[in-house]
Amino acid sequence: MTPIDPTSSDPTSSAGALTVREPADLIAAVPYLIGFHPADSVVVVGLRDATVVFAARADLLDGTASEQIRATATAQLMAIVERQRVDAAVLLGYGPAAAVDPALDATTTSLRQYGIPLLDALRVTGDRYWSFFCEDLACCPPEGHHIAPGVSPLAVAATVAGQVALPDRATLQRQVEPITGPARSALRAATERARARRSALLGEAPPSDLLGARTLRRAGEKTVRMLLDRQRRGIAPTDDDIAWLTLLLTDLTVRDHAWERITDEPWQVTFWQDVARRAEPELAAGPASLLAFAAWRNGNGALARVALDRALDAEPGYTMAQLMDDVLIRGIPPAALGPWPKPGEEPASGGTRTDTRTARRRRPRGERRDRARPAGPRPAGPHRP
């Protein structure tokens, strides 16, 4: 069962207030909880105080997977669920009985071993579902329950609340794929202009600025603030904006400056999704990692997962992507982030901002700046020891 897409819900939001009264309601809700309609999947929905607060989806493993692989995948899923500190859970399996039933049996056993009360386990195959816990034939006939066609009231409420259910995970993956065609050619030309601009800027750097590091850092921080402010006001970046930003983000201090300014506002996800898709492939690791963090902060673990896949495909050793990958694998919820620095503020909880000159001196010799270990998010905020 891999990959795992964990998604946290905010019960205080209008989206988190959706009412689930029966299995059919929960089945209708799951696509909106994880962001797409699942297939060949196992989904665990966690509840706290009778409110849905968490959902995690994992691929079904086929018959060729070894017992060790199955045990590892199940352990990862259980570790994610356990960290949510839920009061109860509901388990759902999507696919044919031959593939779903063994996965539901194994996951049910694991949930009980972890002491998590399981309210029900449901198999969804086609337009029908079956309960593993109900033995009353009058209530749960052998042929299962029919899932009524059409749009359910819960789906309408979820849509009004701003939640989206894409057709499948492949559709979600396409939302982070690089642009193609004439748009890509235009970005390639803009990136060449940005490289010439960077060379000119370095040529103007004072002799005291070794390799122009301060000059580039100041230009990068200014660009990040300007483009975020524009996006906040509904002004999308141009090709030249994107090219210049992605080139400057290869400097870790600029990347961390952008990292600190990611909030849980939805427009941040829109912005970094646009940057990641338009970035030249060799410059995509940083923007895709920042998109993953923005999506995770918004509780969209599925989008964060596919964004990280994009980042790691672009540069397997990119440390921010590896850190965020670990966050998702461990199922750490956004609430664990704690107070996060607001733009222009020092880190909360007594954090002290590390001098960037000191950070550079600590970096091992020969290590590329765009592959160094980030000073970014740890539970109490960036730049904390």
Highest mean pLDDT among 41-45, 48-52, 254-258: 254-258
Pick from 283, 214, 201: nearest CA to 249: 283
DSSP 139-178: TS-TT-EE---S--HHHHHHHHTT---BS-HHHHHHTSSP
Position 381 pLDDT exceeds 80 = no
Query: Among the ranges 66-70, 154-158, 231-235, which has the highest mean pLDDT value?
Result: 231-235
Say what the alpha-carbon torsion angle 7, 10, 13, 14 is, to the nearest 10 degrees. Answer: 40
Mean per-residue pLDDT, 370-380: 38
Which CATH architecture is the domain 4-166 placed in? 3-Layer(aba) Sandwich (3.40)
Domain ranges, ordered by start, for the chain: 4-166, 175-371
Counting Cα atoms < 13 Å in the Cβ hemisphere of 322 gives 9
What are the distances in angstroms from CA 85 to CA 51, 115, 252, 270? 13, 11, 35, 30
* pLDDT of residue 8 exceeding 70: no
Q: Tens digits of per-residue pLDDT, 204-249?
A: 999 998 888 999 999 999 999 999 999 999 999 999 999 999 999 9
